[in-house]
Structure 1
Amino acid sequence: MAVPPALDLDTLRERLLAGNRAALARAITLAESKRADHRTAARDLIDAVLPQTGGAIRVGITGVPGVGKSTTIDALGANLTEAGHKVAVLAVDPSSSRTGGSILGDKTRMARLAVDPNAFIRPSPSSGTLGGVAAKTRETMLLCEAAGFDVILVETVGVGQSETAVADLTDFFLVLMLPGAGDELQGIKKGILELADMIAVNKADEGEGERRANAAASEYRAALHILTPPSATWTPPVVTISGLNNKRLDAMWQKVVDHREKLTATGEIAKRRRAQDVKWMWALVHERLHQRLVGSPEVRKATAEAEAAVAGGAHSPAAGAETIATLIGL
C-alpha cells in the first residue's frame, strides 16, 4: 500500500504518535512493503519515532498448535485493557506456500480483543522466517509502542522450529504447554525450556484437567531446577492456568511484572535490548543482501541459470554459490 500523496511522512508520524489506529495500520503496511521506496520511507519513519519507543513490556508467547495460545491471549489481553493498559498483539501466522499469505486468521479467534478500543491485533504471515517471526515484526513492535501501546504480545507459530527468534525480540518468553500430552520431554528436546522465562501449563480446568496440569507442572519444575544455573538472576516459574476460563491469568501476568522489575533493577533488560538491536542490524544486512539477489533482473536471470546448472548436475552447489556471490560482489 502506497502512502497517499496527501499524507506525507510528517503527517503520518504526527498521527501515529497521537495514537491514531488508521495511521498505525498504514505505517505497519508501509514497513511490510517490499518496494524499495516504501522500505526507505518506513526506515525514515521509524527513525523519527524511535525516541518514543522502548517503554512497553514485550512478551513472546509460544506453544504447540492446540495449546490454546489465541484463547489465552484473548483473555489475558482483555484483563490488561480492563486494568488500563493498551495491548498490541502481533499474531504471526504460518504462511501459505503458494501466496505467502496468512492461513490461520488469529484475529478471528480473539473475539474480545478484536472489538476492544484499547487493543490492536495485527496478523501477519511468517513468510518462512525462523521461529515463525515475521520479517517485519520488530519494526511493527516499535510502531505500536510509538502509538502508545504499553504491552506488546508476540504470538508465534509454535510448530517446532527454533524459537530463538522470538526470544531475540522480546523481554519475556512465555511457553504454554499442554498437560498429559507427552510435551514434557518434547519441550526439553526442542530446547524450549532453556529459552523460557516462564512455563504455563494451560487447560488446568476443574477436576481431571487440574490434576493433570499439576502433575505436568511438577515435571517441568524438576527439569528447570536442573537447567537453571544457581547464579541466575531469574528462576523461571511454572504455573497452571486456564485460558478458556480466565483462571490464574492475573497471577501469571504478575510474574511477568516481577521479572521486568527485577531485571530492570539489575540492568539486564537494557543489556538484552542492546544485544537485540545488534542482531536486528545483522538481520537487516541479510535482508539487504537478499534484496540484491531478487531486486535486479540481471541478477535474477544469472541466479536462475546457476540454479539450473546445479539442478542439472553441470555445476556443484559450491560452484553455484560462488557464481551467485560474485554477482553481488561478495
Structure 2
Amino acid sequence: MGTESLSAAKRTGRLEWQPEDAGSEYACSVMPGVPLSPDCNVQAQRGGQALPLRSALTAEDYANGIIAGDRVTLSRAITVIESNAPKHFELGQEIIQRILPYSGGAMRVGVTGVPGAGKSTFIEAFGTYLTKNGHKVAVLAVDPSSSLTRGSILGDKTRMENLARQKNAFIRPSPSGGSLGGVTRKSRETMLLCEAAGYDTILVETVGVGQSETMVRQMVDYFLVIVITGAGDELQGIKKGIIELADSILVNKADGDNKMKALMARADYEQILHYLRQPTEGWKTKAYTCSSITGEGIPEMWSVIEDFRENVTKSGIFIKRRKEQTIEWVRAMAGEYLQNRIARCAELTKCREEIERRVIEGAITPTSAAKALTASMERLLFTNARET
C-alpha cells in the first residue's frame, strides 16, 4: 500500500487493504468473474462455455477403469482411498473388494535411506530402466507433512521428470500425515490399486528419517537401504536395527572421484553384515554400489531383486512375509479405528481437556493423568458400545 493510500486509510479508519481498492498503480488487481446462470451446475467456464463437474463414479466404474489400466481413474480412486471423509470410506472399501482378485502379483520394493542419499534420483534411474525393458512401474513417493500446517510439498513427481514421461510409469506423491517411517496409512490400499492396474513393480520411497522403518518392512517384499560415503553413513550402517531389516544395502553415487570411496564403503558394509546379519533362508544380505547418474550398477540391482524373489519363493519366505504383512495390516487398521473413535467422542474430548488442565496446573502427575484418561476411554467407549 502506498503512503498516500495508507494516510487515507488512517483518516477513514479503514486500515485493512481491500483487493477491490487496487488501482492501475498496483501490480495486483482483482478481475471480475464471468457471471453464471443460477441453475447451471458448473465447475468453471472457458470461452463462454460452461464446463460440467466431473461425474461421480460408482465402485464398479472405479474397478473397471483400474483393471483396464486407466491412470485417471486410478488417480481418482487413490484420492478416495486417502480421503479421511467418512462418506468415502465405504466407497473405498468396495473398490478394494472389487479389485482384490487382480492384485498381489507385483514385486513390492521399499527404498529408504538418510536424507541426501539420492533415493529419488535412484528411483528415477531404476524406474526408467525397468520401463524401457517392458515393465510397468508405480512409484509411491511419501513426502513429510508439516507438524504445524499438516501440508506437504509433494515435489517428487517434479524431481522424477524423466520417469514421469514414461508411459509405463505412474508416480503418486502422498503426504506422510505425520505417520512414523513416513509411510501413509493408506499406502497398502494404494499398492493394491496399482497392482490391479497392471503395474508389476511397486517402488515405495520413504521419508528416510531413520525412525520406525519397520513400518516399511511390513508392507514390501524387498527392502533396500541406500547409503552414501562421506556423510556419516558408516555409523548409520552399524545400527543393528536397520541392518536386520535390509535385504540389500546400496552405496549410491559411485561415480567420478567418489567411486573408489564407494567401493571401500561397500567393503565396510560387507563386514558389518557379516557380524550383524544372519542369512535368511534362501537369501544372504549383501552390499552393492551404483551410480544413478551414469546408470552403472542399475541393471545389476534389478538382477539382485529378481534373484531374491526366485530364492525366497522357493524357500517359502515370500508367501510367509505376505501373510505376516496382512495380519499386521489388520492390527494397524484396528488401532487406527480405535484412535478415530476416541477422536470423535465429544465426551472423551471434554474429559481429556480437563485432565490435561489438571496436569498443567500440577494437580496430578502425568502418570496418574494417563491412567485416568485410559479409564475414561474404557468407560465411555464400552458404555456406548453396549448401548448400540
Give the paired residue count: 327
Q: Does 1:259 align with 2:308?
A: yes
Where 1:128 maps in the other structure, the secondary structure is coil
Give the one of 257, 276, 294 matched to 1:245.
294
Write the distance in 2 (CA, Å) between the matches of 1:25 and 1:319.
44
The one-letter code of the counterpart of 1:253 is: W
Q: Does 1:137 align with 2:187?
A: yes
Q: Which runs of 5+ in 2 are unaligned?
A: 1-52, 384-388
Identity rate, percent: 51
- Once the two structures are TM-superposed, the CA of residue 128 in structure 1 deviates from its matched residue by 1.6
The structure with higher relative contact order (CA 8 Å, sep 6+) is 1
Residue 176 of structure 1 aligns with which residue?
A: 226
- Once the two structures are TM-superposed, the CA of residue 107 in structure 1 deviates from its matched residue by 1.3
The one-letter code of the counterpart of 2:372 is: A
Residue 201 of structure 1 aligns with which residue?
A: 251
The one-letter code of the counterpart of 2:352 is: T
The one-letter code of the counterpart of 1:323 is: S
The answer to whether the 8 Å contact 1:60/1:156 transfers is yes
Where 1:191 maps in the other structure, the secondary structure is helix
- Once the two structures are TM-superposed, the CA of residue 265 in structure 1 deviates from its matched residue by 1.4
* Deviation sequence 1:62-83 (CA, Å, 0-9, x none): 0111111101100110000000
Residue 165 of structure 1 aligns with which residue?
A: 215
The one-letter code of the counterpart of 1:327 is: L
Q: Which runs of 5+ in 1 are unaligned?
A: none
**Mapping of residues 1-330 of structure 1, within 5 Å:** 6-103=56-153, 105-189=155-239, 191-206=241-256, 208-229=257-278, 232-315=281-364, 316-329=369-382
Where 1:102 maps in the other structure, the secondary structure is coil
TM-score by length of 1: 0.94
Write the distance in 2 (CA, Å) between the matches of 1:230 and 1:196.
11
Write the distance in 2 (CA, Å) between the matches of 1:187 and 1:37.
45
TM-score by length of 2: 0.80
Flag the 1:128–1:87 CA change in 2: closer, same or farther, 3 A.
Answer: same
The one-letter code of the counterpart of 2:108 is: R
The one-letter code of the counterpart of 1:324 is: M
- Once the two structures are TM-superposed, the CA of residue 322 in structure 1 deviates from its matched residue by 2.2
Write the distance in 2 (CA, Å) between the matches of 1:244 and 1:329.
58
Larger radius of gyration: 2
- Once the two structures are TM-superposed, the CA of residue 102 in structure 1 deviates from its matched residue by 1.8
> After the TM superposition, which of the residue ranges 41-50 and 276-285 deviates more from structure 2?
41-50
The one-letter code of the counterpart of 2:318 is: I
> After the TM superposition, which of the residue ranges 73-82 and 175-184 deviates more from structure 2?
175-184
The answer to whether the 8 Å contact 2:154/2:175 transfers is no
Write the distance in 1 (CA, Å) between the matches of 2:215 and 2:72.
28
CA RMSD of aligned residues (A): 1.8
- Once the two structures are TM-superposed, the CA of residue 323 in structure 1 deviates from its matched residue by 1.9
Flag the 1:230–1:270 CA change in 2: closer, same or farther, 3 A.
Answer: closer
Write the distance in 2 (CA, Å) between the matches of 1:231 and 1:320.
43
The one-letter code of the counterpart of 2:356 is: E
The answer to whether the 8 Å contact 1:303/1:324 transfers is no
